[in-house]
Structure 1
Amino acid sequence: MNDLMNKARLSNTNLSLEELTTRIGKATSSLREKQWENVSHDNACIQQDGGGKYKRSRLFDIFQEFKREQATLIRLGSQGGNIPEQTRHVHVRTALASIIHGKCHSLGVRTKDVSVEALDKQIFDRYVDTLQSRQWNTISLRHPMQFPEPGETARTVNFITTMTPASGLDSVLRRKYQEDGINGICSYATQEKRHAVNLWRTEFRAEQPAGTQTKHGFSAIRHGVHDAYGIEDPRQRATANDARVKEFIHASLIDHLKRNKITLDDTEAGRPLSIDIVSVNLLTPIGKEKEMIKQQQQALSRASGREIQVQVSDEGNSHTVHVKPRIIMFNVPVDHLSLAATGNVMGIWRHADLINNDAIKLLIGSVEKNKTIGGATGVRIQTLNAELATITGNNTTDLSKRRTICEKITLIEHLTEQIRDIYISKLHHRVGNEPYKLPTRLLALANEIGATPAFNCKSGKDRTGQLNVEIRELYAQLIANGGTPRAVDAKREGLAKENYKILFMNGGDRDIQALNTGVTGSKTQLRYYHRLMDVPPKNIDQIKGLSKWVGA
């Protein structure tokens, strides 16, 4: 408001603005006290206390409820009086805009930028700026989990989750974010032209004694959709998408170097470094998301196979690396519409599996059982077999190397067979006991063949966060079982169920949700998770938090 008043050259309004600020603060404090006194998990109570989302009454206001409530708010801003704790029909952001609009009119300011719509947008833009200027720090967590032993005993294995935001991946990216005055890009930034949205590198491994290395660990790049769908101009939208993809490739290069223990000195100057990326897109190919899938695929396709110069840093030294990415693109929708009978009726899987048919060939060659494994996976198996043939000694070191390579080949073959079983039987078209059964195996296989796994939804926080839980839980069991992945669609019971809850509730994904919207909570709509977490679906519970009222 100070900015608006200065723009209108009204400099003697501090007293009236302070009075308005006091009234808004009083209403906010009163609501907060009421919420603490009436803690409830009931949807209606929370919606009444919080004001809820935009109501359809704004468009179909038959009884003029929205219009009357908004008129009251404008009058309160203009004439004074107690501001209500909450609204019933007007979103809190529109309510604030209405109050400020009334105040501006009372001071004689009647320009376009003090209309309710303009003020609403300005409040939202300021909120986005606040979210993006917060500290987006690396999240590092330790998860003690228990696994059954023969008899009735259990053993504890400690796991480590590390999630690093794009701005923390290297000093080059850090500097770019600092120059733009931000620490991250939240999912509300639908017109972002400079950076990828909500991009993180996620890592998961077993905690190891000092001086030892884990055989199995997982790392990947997670992000929001590479589509600036808030930009209307097609060319500007495509340019923004390309900028997002370039930063994504930068992050994927960092993952590739770290997972393969390659230093920048090992890269040959001027010679392109080939990297494989397996992208699993969780968006649903209907409505607006269908176009987002298309836009992301086009942007990734424009980058795939091309030589791209990426400036990266290693221990403070900056290098230009020529990268040639090959990007294998899957689309595996996981929302409630896709995993119900409606998925086939609405043509969701017809569209998604057209994409997946091509990607499967590139990754494993064929989905037919007992067929020779091809694609990127077949190439990796050939490389491992060639490496195995060079180890001829019988000393302890050589025996250990041979065993490690053989175990790696076995795991790759096992994951390939699971993917074939899922795909041929169309198990990924329904919830079952494991809604993310195909995405997790695709990411795990990519990880084991040395490619960079990547996954996204629209915002990079809800469906993406859920997949981040699922893949870590798969690897926790794989590590505890000595390198054998669990059976497809296995039911989680007992300790497995408790381990899942640990990752779901305390795995760091809720922190990422809060960085993006200001509140924690997953928007997952699958009732399966209510059963798995022992939460009645009728409640707005610890799973959803306040996510239902904050949008994407």
Structure 2
Amino acid sequence: MPSLNLLQALRPSNWMRSSDARPSATAHDGPVAGSAPAPRKLSAADIQRVAPDGGWLSHLSQHAQAPQASSRSLHGLYALQSHKLEAAHLALHGFGLGDSAEAKTLHAMAEQLQAARFKPDRAVQPREMASNSQLSRDVRTVIATALTRAGLPAKLAQREAKASLQQASTRLLNQRPWQTVETRLQHNGREYSCTLTPAGQMKLGGAGDIFPNGYHDKGVCSASTTETSHAANLWLSELHSPDADDAQRTLFKGIRHGILSPYGVEDATRRQDGARQRATEVATAALFSQPDTLRQALAGDTVTLRLTSTALVTPGLGGEGGMLRDQIGAWRALSSAPQPLTLQVKNADGELQAVQVKLEVAAFNFGVNELALKLGMGHGESDKLNLTALQQLLGPDLKPGTDPGGWVGDYLAQNPDNSGRVWQMAQQLKDIWARQSHRRDGGEPYKAAQRVAMLAFEIGAVPCWNCKSGKDRTGMLDAEIKREAIAQHQGHAPSRPEAALDAGMRELFGKVLTQGGNLEVQAYNTGAPGNKVMKQLPLGSLLNLSYAQRVGDAAAWQQAQGLSTLLKS
């Protein structure tokens, strides 16, 4: 049996942990039979050599340029499988086994896959999707075999193979450039543009992004569960429509991200510190989303920044309760700290500058999955938070029909042009709360979360929202918001809570789901486009949520689902 030192020598945890894109390279020898291979760090050049020409990176770039391309294509499947093989090769390199027989096996598999990609693209078949699971098993077996030959027991080798493959996949996803996603859609003859800007592209000039610890044009994918320096999957989401003079009118703007808790970190103190750092980045991104406020702050003024944080997790099974508590703790730590809070921002000259911000956060959580809306899990814990946040947003009197107070009351006191819409949306939130209808599907799973986000935007606060990963439930809320914003822009009154979508609204929802940028965000995070929320459970109507009814069109459903059934994170 190998010693613990052998396992530590084999495990590539040191080089896998960092999301920095520029690790140093060290020379290494091939493994010697009967001895532990020495771990080494990989350079960016190593990773570039692992990636085959025309692999998943180039596929994703093409996908970003053609948002209506099929999300369930054969070439898309090949791209995902190429990513798996790249990750496996990278994992073997991390163990010092890059010259092993198993590495040559992976290379041969990659060549076979690359040759297959010359076939014409078409819709992927069920048997081809099933082959992906077999490939995953084969790849883990190849890595485990290499580790067994290096001296690890078989069971331990299997565990290490699985863990190292996930770490390598995350590493690859974080090493690639994350670019701004820009898509367009048309509805009733009018064109709308959707822009999703990743954290690494939040820039004031050409000297890098605004964050003290820069992203270097790369990203932090949702699988980065131990990342404590950056927020995971952080994006600015915008919806625009040209006015009559072709000026861009902003219909909605907000910040989306993954859970603030780096829940893969076992040490509670380090995990909570990481959550506060992630929250600080989200607050900095929120400030970036308000250019006038940011300019004032950079000019030396103390500014007020109000944001709503709407989590979409379910306390209970799966550990999401602990993640939520870490997130709420982080927001409380920032908003209860002596104000103004000092944030560090890189200005247009690339220089780090301290800005003074009075931060106010209204932190919600609405469970939106089957566990919450069909089985009733997590609402007790969530609604303790929601009561406080609603009173912050709407004032202490939450009875329907009463005038709003809180942030909304402050805003309405200025007699703004959108006062009617703001008052109506505030009343809808009060009605949802009074009826407790956010605890059930009711034909609209995101009824409360959508109205919190849109109301925050209407009153000049910054809506922020997240689920565990920041891609599936978060993406659905992104789509629900944009559907409603476009509908209101085309003259519709704010939709009634739990009202069924008519044919036109179902068509619009399908367009936003498939053409609004979410497929690209999901691909950046996993290597393949597709939303895991789009599923049909075995027990049918007993557990299924109402997405099929809200989308209506089977083709739009499948396009939104993409290859998500092949993904585990």
Q: Which TM-score tier does this pair reach, normalised by the shorter chain? A: 0.7 to 0.9
Which residue matches 1:466?
A: 476
SS in 1 for 2:265: coil
Letter of the 1:529 counterpart: Y
Choose from 216, 219, 231 the match for 1:184: 219
Are the counterparts in 2 of residues 201 and 220 from structure 1 also a CA contact under 8 Å? Answer: yes
Instruction: Name the counterpart of 2:151.
Output: 110
Residue 400 (structure 2) pairs with residue 369 (structure 1) = yes
Preserved CA contact (<8 Å) 2:507 2:553: no
Determine whether 1:532 maps to 2:550. yes
Q: Which secondary structure state, in structure 2, belongs to the residue aligned with residue 312 of structure 1?
A: strand
SS at structure 2 position matched to 1:191: coil
Larger of the two Rg values belongs to structure? 1
One-letter amino acid of the counterpart of residue 349, structure 2:
G
Q: Quote how far apart the aligned CAs of 1:117 are.
A: 2.6
Indicate how the Cα distance of structure 1 residues 280 and 3 shifts in structure 2: closer, same or farther if over 3 A, else same. farther
Matches within 5 A, 1:384-463: 384-385=414-415, 405=416, 407-463=417-473
1:276-320: CA deviation from partner (whole Å, max 9, x where unpaired): 111111001112111111110001110014333223245436432
List alignment gaps of at least 5 residues for structure 1. 52-85, 147-155, 386-404
Q: Quote how far apart the aligned CAs of 1:328 are.
A: 0.3
Give the whole-Å Cα distance in 2 for the aligned partners of 1:379 and 1:321.
25
Matches within 5 A, 1:55-94: 86=134, 92=136
Looking at structure 1, the residues matched to 139 and 96 of structure 2 have their Cα atoms a distance apart, in angstroms, of 22
1:5 is matched with which residue?
30
Secondary structure at the aligned position of 1:475 is classed as helix
1:294 matched to which residue of 2? Answer: 325
5 Å-filtered alignment, 1:23-38, equals 23-25=108-110, 28=113
Alignment of 1:201-280 (within 5 A): 201-210=236-245, 212=247, 214=249, 217-255=251-289, 257-258=290-291, 261-262=292-293, 264-265=295-296, 269=300, 272-280=302-310
State the AA in 1 paired with 2:141.
S
- Aligned twin of 1:20: 105
Q: Which whole-Å CA distance do the structure 2 matches of 1:203 and 1:31 have between them? A: 38
Does the 8 A contact of 1:142 with 1:158 survive in 2? yes
1:485 aligns with 494
Q: How far apart, in 1, do the equivalents of 2:408 and 2:201 lie?
A: 31
Count of equivalent residues:
467
Distance (whole Å) between structure 1 residues aligned to residue 274 and residue 97 of structure 2: 42
SS at match of 1:333: coil
TM-score, with length taken from structure 2:
0.74
**Which residue of 2 is the match for residue 381 of structure 1?**
412
Match status 1:95 vs 2:138: yes
> Displacement of 1:325 after TM fit?
0.8
Are residues 263 and 327 of structure 1, via their aligned partners in 2, closer, same or farther at CA, if it must alter by over 3 Å? closer
Separation in 2, partners of 1:461, 1:445: 22
Preserved contact between residue 361 and residue 375 of structure 1 (Cα < 8 Å): yes
Counterpart of 1:193 in structure 2 is: 228
Partner of 2:201: 168
For residue 491 of structure 1, report the CA deviation from its aligned partner. 1.9
* CA shift for structure 1 position 372: 2.8
CA-CA distance at 1:536 after TM superposition = 6.3
- The yes-or-no answer on 1:327 pairing with 2:361 is yes
Assess, with a 3 A threshold, how the Cα gap between structure 1 residues 98 and 268 changes in structure 2: closer, same or farther.
Answer: same
Mark the CA change 1:199 to 1:3 in structure 2 (over 3 Å): closer, same or farther: farther
CA separation of 1:303/1:493 partners in 2, compared to 1, >3 Å: closer, same or farther?
same
Q: Percent identity?
A: 25
Per the alignment, residue 312 of structure 1 pairs with 345
CA contact (8 A) 1:225 1:457 kept: yes
By how many angstroms is 1:249 displaced? Answer: 1.0
Residue-by-residue CA offset, 1:475-532 (whole Å, 9 max, x unaligned): 10111117x3222222222222211111011111011011101111111144422233
1:551 to 2:539 alignment: no
How far apart are 1:267 and its partner, in Å? 5.6
Q: Deviations over 1:100-147 (max 9, x none)?
A: 3434555xx32699933333323322211110111211111221111x
TM-score calculated relative to the size of structure 1: 0.76
C-alpha displacement of 1:168: 0.9
2:519–2:531 contact (8 Å) kept in structure 1 = yes
Coordinate RMSD, CA, aligned = 3.3
Q: Alpha carbons of 1:26 and 1:413: their partners in 2 closer, same or farther (altered >3 Å)? A: same
Are the counterparts in 1 of residues 208 and 214 from structure 2 also a CA contact under 8 Å?
A: no
Q: What corresponds to 1:151 in structure 2?
A: none
1:119 corresponds to: 161
Q: SS state of the match for residue 415, structure 1?
A: helix
Does structure 1 conserve the Cα–Cα contact (< 8 Å) formed by 2:209 and 2:346? no
Instruction: Give the conservation status (yes or no) of the 8 Å contact 1:166–1:201.
Output: yes
Unaligned runs of 5+ in 2: 1-9, 11-26, 39-94, 536-543
Distance (whole Å) between structure 2 residues aligned to residue 350 and residue 409 of structure 1: 33
Map 1:512-531 onto structure 2 (within 5 A): 512-524=521-533, 525=535, 526-531=544-549
Pairing partner for 1:132 from 150, 158, 174: 174
Task: Indicate if the aligned counterparts of 2:200 and 2:216 stay in contact, CA closer than 8 A.
Answer: no
